[in-house]
Structure 1
Amino acid sequence: MDERRLYEEVTSRIREAALLGSCAAVLGWDEQTYMPTGGVGLRGEQAALLAGIQHDRATAPRIGEVLDSLQDAPIAQGDSAEAANLRQIRRDYERRKALPKSLVEELARTTSTAQHEWVIARRDVDFERFRPWLDRILELKRQESACRRVCLVGRHACSTNEQPSDAAATIYDPLLDDYEPGARTAELRVVFGEIREGLTPLVAAIAEARKRGVGSDGALLRRSFPVERQRMLAESAAAAVGFDFERGRLDVTAHPFCTGIGPGDVRITTKYDERKFDDAFFSVLHEVGHGLYEQGLPDAAWGSPLGEAVSLGVHESQSRLWENFVGRGRPFWTYWFPIARRTFHDSLQGASLDGFLAAVNRVEPSLIRIQADEVTYNLHIIIRFELELALISGELNTADLPAAWADKYAETLGVRPSNVAEGCLQDVHWSAGLFGYFPTYSLGNVYAAQLFAKATADLPGLEDELAKGDASALLAWLRDKIHRHGRRYEPTELIERAVGGPIDAKPLLTHLQRRYGGLYGV
């Protein structure tokens, strides 16, 4: 048996499927940025066709034959790049093989149109317009879960966290595993419980401090910040922390995102509001974090697992690290605040660094997730996680979603949406079929806290460098610890190797207490 020839054959086939995926990514990016609304129907058919062709390529029987031939071969053993690739190719092959082509096509077709229906429903504050699409997506995602469950059970047959009687977890785990391999609903409940327990007293203490007039009211950031100047400052900051604009671009969309098309083509987006400086600037830093990860993956391995991001939780750790741990910190603004004052000389006239930091780190329970402060953000995610479980299990009917959403916000954050646009229609994820995605945001925060704490320990001069506008040491550290490995390791193993210990929510809670306890004197 010619192991090398067979290995090259299977990786070549997988790369062809990845090329088709990159074509679909371009269409998806275009749909969210420049495509006219009249193209919705055709784009849905294009997405379905490409998804079907990609599915055929990625599940070709020959791939299974080659994987079986190589299963016991030396090339598939150990921790080599080839062995890691083969392990992940088999995982992906089995998961894709479990799905009928017709289901893959229908999901692509339905979600393509549903995303546009969501845009209109949110604009018109009309949940009933979107509800049939949500019902259809839930039906399709339940089918997907049932198809993939056998793959998940096989890989977790000995899990001590298995809860066979938990109907929601039984359906949700295979969907969650698509975004965060190895993660389980039972484990998330524990981690999220720790986060809720740690955040509740901090949020309450800050609320009391705010009643006493402590902290910023955020008015500084609601002055007039011309959009074109916002764009210039955001692009300057993005380039300064390492985003390569010769291999990427920044555009405008309704809901900011990052798309890695492939080597040399990483696209990030934001949205601007003249009266909300922090919305665009921090969304750019957030998406830049994603973009840096994509640009840091090894080009030579593109199209294979070792050229792909390991999980959405790890991906989110990169965006959260740059947005919050760097971008909301004093060292970062020691350098960038004077530049911001020159850029917005009228709006920031008389503003101090301390006043500006208090504004960008203002804590106030809010309705909109993407505008949430760093302290309360995870509570937004926990709400969505609980609602997803109820929806996917059928415990919550979609007709009752707006009320359930409003009640959870009132109970958890003390605020209640006045309409569905600021309630259950605010996020694009469900219209795109992304059930199991939301928890990765909070996992990303947990990972980011651990990574930044370790980087700070490993790089004693990091704060001084950031205060000089130099983020190169931190980026190099992340390249070495996270980016270059692709999917060589499972997400938790990758983080554990990087930080030298197990996944732990305590560094996140410590960071939040230190930063915001100091700002609010609690």
Structure 2
Amino acid sequence: MTAYEELSRKFKRLHALQEAAGLLSWDMSTVMPSGGAEARTEQLATLDVVCHEILTDASLDALFDQASAETKELSPWVQANLTEMRRRWLHATAVDSDLVEALSKACKRCEMIWREARPKADFAAVLPAMKEVLNLTRQEAAAKAERLDCSLYDALLDQYEPGGASAHIDTVFADLADFLPGFLDQAMAQQASRPVPLPLPGPFPREQQEALGRRMMAAVGFDFDHGRLDVSLHPFCGGVPDDVRITTRYDEDDFMTALMGVLHETGHAMYERGLPRDWRLQPVGEARGMAMHESQSLMVEMQACRSAEFVAFLAPIARETFGGEGAAWEAENLLRHYNKVEPGFIRVDADEVTYPAHVILRYRLEKALIAGEMELEALPEEWNRGMQDLLGITPPDDRLGCLQDIHWYDGAWGYFPTYTLGAMTAAQLFAAARQARPEIPEALGRGDFSPLMDWLKAHVHGQASSASGEAILERATGEPLNPEVFKAHLTARYLA
């Protein structure tokens, strides 16, 4: 067995254990009884430690040196796989197993407290546990920053966006922060000149919403033999490529939010299902970072499923599902609902014009917290101030403010900027896909996603982690990330 083959064997075992941990986490967020929290925390912490021990095995250092010499003449995919292995090894060897275990347990405890504190708008209840998570996260960031020779924040960002740099994000987000307020005013003025959307009379029973969601998932191409749809407090996509788990949440007074949430997560699922089978359980066979992953969910939800063509397909099916009658169920009225622009408190419910402001706020706050430039006790106040500055609204309580997202409470620091980077990437990829395959809009009008998905499989899904996200984007579209494409998309949709 060559050094590279030995590394492949070790990483295959590692990946299988991580997949098992992912399914245990899905269970914890969906169907696990609350009394199982302590046992599940111990199980996941143990798996985290075992995975960390595999990555920090003393033999890996020499294996990497040997494999580097072996793979010089091998395929670019093999070389890319070795690069990804080494990147993960560097992250792991920067942190000792005691910190890994402590952070895993702290995050699981904090998440369970958050689940009770959020509906009560009780930030004080979760503050002590969150302090522990933040303190341990700072220790992790410091250890990794020293090993990777980067800032504390960039060391965390690299876990979600390999090679990402906050200096670049600062520039992109500053440009967006300058653009969005004026554009929001224009979009709302244009919206005010149009007919007000007619209300859609509910209630919309959960069973019917789920049926509609499943029908639309099937249209996108979701394979129910390799996945399922469930309910959780916070919608997400988990599982593994051959067993993708989607969750959503339902409101019987509003079917639109859950449906678009389902379609968003279906975009994530299609990316996972489209990853190359030949490289399963190897680092190079995984998705290329969370910005690219978010681009795929937003490709489906925002670019495709909020288009006039798709809504024309959706409208009669929704009317039939809920027994609707009258002009309120016409495609034009549904489109006005789906593309309505209005500042709101909840990120996951935000329209695509105001959504970047939610992300910019979180990015600024988490950078300040990691850097120690802000105390955690000040988070609610600073959150509310930021919402007022960016969107002109102030949350009435912390449930609608700093308690709304699971990310920080579950230890996902450095994740938030990938949402808006993903939105910009989605706009650029969709523009390129339509140029290459002009039949895409007409196909969406028939509920046929195959031309779009075929293009994405070739240019994104099938590329996995064989190159950087920037390289994959440039190959697919002919240029690196260009914020002007996103602005042009917003202008075409909201000011036309």
Superposition TM-score, scaled by structure 2 size: 0.97
Letter in 1 for 2:308: R
Find the partner of 1:85 among 67, 81, 85.
81
The reply on whether 1:237 has 2:240 as its aligned counterpart is no
Q: Which runs of 5+ in 2 are unaligned?
A: none
RMSD: 1.6
Instruction: Determine the structure 2 residue equivalent to 1:461.
Output: 439
Q: For 1:514 and 1:503, how far apart are their aligned partners in 2? A: 19
Instruction: Report how far residue 349 of structure 1 moved.
Output: 6.2
Could you tell me whether the CA contact under 8 Å between 1:375 and 1:512 is conserved in 2?
A: yes
CA deviation string 1:214-253 (max 9, x = no partner): 4545733x63222111111111111111111111111000
Instruction: Determine the structure 2 residue equivalent to 1:280.
Output: 258
The reply on whether 1:19 has 2:19 as its aligned counterpart is no
Instruction: Determine the structure 2 residue equivalent to 1:203.
Output: 184
Could you tell me whether the CA contact under 8 Å between 1:233 and 1:340 is conserved in 2?
A: yes
Q: Which moved more, 1:331-340 or 1:30-39?
A: 331-340
Q: For 2:477 and 2:140, how far apart are their aligned partners in 1? A: 35
Instruction: Determine the structure 2 residue equivalent to 1:182.
Output: 163
Identity rate of aligned residues, in percent? 39
Instruction: Determine the structure 2 residue equivalent to 1:219.
Output: 199
Instruction: Determine the structure 1 residue equivalent to 2:277.
Output: 299
Counterpart mapping for 1:12-411 below 5 A: 12-73=9-70, 75-76=71-72, 80-153=76-149, 170-209=151-190, 212=192, 214=194, 216=196, 219-220=199-200, 223-261=202-240, 263-346=241-324, 350-411=328-389
Instruction: Report how far residue 348 of structure 1 moved.
Output: 6.3
Find the partner of 1:511 among 461, 479, 489.
489
The alpha-carbon distance between structure 1 residues 495 and 77, as it changes in their structure 2 partners (threshold 3 A), is: farther
Instruction: Report how far residue 299 of structure 1 moved.
Output: 2.2
Q: For 2:212 and 2:327, how far apart are their aligned partners in 1? A: 17
1:267 match: secondary structure: strand
Q: For 1:482 and 1:285, how far apart are their aligned partners in 2? A: 18
Could you tell me whether the CA contact under 8 Å between 1:218 and 1:362 is conserved in 2?
A: no
The reply on whether 1:5 has 2:2 as its aligned counterpart is yes
Instruction: Report how far residue 347 of structure 1 moved.
Output: 6.4
Could you tell me whether the CA contact under 8 Å between 2:407 and 2:413 is conserved in 1?
A: yes
Instruction: Report how far residue 88 of structure 1 moved.
Output: 1.1
Instruction: Determine the structure 2 residue equivalent to 1:494.
Output: 472
Q: Which moved more, 1:57-66 or 1:29-38?
A: 57-66
Instruction: Report how far residue 68 of structure 1 moved.
Output: 1.1
The alpha-carbon distance between structure 1 residues 392 and 265, as it changes in their structure 2 partners (threshold 3 A), is: same
The alpha-carbon distance between structure 1 residues 208 and 343, as it changes in their structure 2 partners (threshold 3 A), is: same
Q: For 2:198 and 2:350, how far apart are their aligned partners in 1? A: 13
Q: For 2:101 and 2:302, how far apart are their aligned partners in 1? A: 38
The alpha-carbon distance between structure 1 residues 218 and 179, as it changes in their structure 2 partners (threshold 3 A), is: farther
Could you tell me whether the CA contact under 8 Å between 1:225 and 1:347 is conserved in 2?
A: no
Letter in 2 for 1:367: F
Instruction: Determine the structure 2 residue equivalent to 1:429.
Output: 407
CA deviation string 1:278-316 (max 9, x = no partner): 110000010000000000112231111222011000000
The alpha-carbon distance between structure 1 residues 120 and 347, as it changes in their structure 2 partners (threshold 3 A), is: farther
The alpha-carbon distance between structure 1 residues 337 and 346, as it changes in their structure 2 partners (threshold 3 A), is: closer
Instruction: Report how far residue 354 of structure 1 moved.
Output: 0.9
1:219 match: secondary structure: coil
Q: For 2:249 and 2:279, how far apart are their aligned partners in 1? A: 33
Could you tell me whether the CA contact under 8 Å between 2:23 and 2:239 is conserved in 1?
A: no
The alpha-carbon distance between structure 1 residues 453 and 44, as it changes in their structure 2 partners (threshold 3 A), is: same
Q: For 1:476 and 1:94, how far apart are their aligned partners in 2? A: 35
Q: For 2:181 and 2:458, how far apart are their aligned partners in 1? A: 36
Q: Which runs of 5+ in 1 are unaligned?
A: 157-169
**How many correspondences in the alignment?**
496
